[in-house]
Amino acid sequence: MNSENKYLLLIQQMPEDIIRHIKQFVPLSCLVWLDKKTYLKNHHIIYKLISENKYESYVRDMIRKDNQLVISCLMRENFKRWTNYKKYLYKNIIYTNFNYFLLDFCRENNSTNCSNIISEYLKDSRLSKNQHKKNVVRNIKWTN
């Protein structure tokens, strides 16, 4: 058990009055991760914490962990924008858009909760349900 978990356990054992008083001094960037209510209210802060070039890694990491809450927020805010990411390339496979990549990535990592959320968004938007079959494998290897 690491030191952070020990502190969290100690804080959980404290009375509510003391916890409320302590929360005033904890930055919002730390509080956002503690509970669902705070996350839903302040998840926009996370965008500022993650650099632009690491954002896709953050999304993939949330899928690997099968984090249903985070993926549902991300899909709600970014679905249309991700649909417009045409020809997304990942590991020599060209996906028609970023949403189909996420769906395939969920299947690779056995993230059923995330896969269900993404599938619902795709179904509601009436995009092709067999679109994953249209992904193109591209082998580009340099030979000398």
Q: What residues make up the domain containing 66? A: 50-137
Question: Are residue 99 and residue 36 in the same domain, yes or no?
Answer: no
pLDDT of residue 64: 92
97, 73, 71: which is closest to 84 by C-alpha? Answer: 97
pLDDT band (50, 70, 90) for residue 50:
confident
Question: Are residue 91 and residue 132 in the same domain, yes or no?
Answer: yes
54, 52, 71: which is closest to 109 by C-alpha? Answer: 71
Q: pTM score, two decimals?
A: 0.72
Question: Are residue 59 and residue 129 in the same domain, yes or no?
Answer: yes
Give the span between the Cα atoms of 80 and 15, in whole angstroms: 44
Amino acid letter, 31? L
Inside any domain, residue 102 = yes
Question: Are residue 75 and residue 129 in the same domain, yes or no?
Answer: yes
Span of 91-95, 100-104, 112-116, 125-129 with lowest mean pLDDT: 125-129
Contact 71, 63 (CB under 8 A): yes
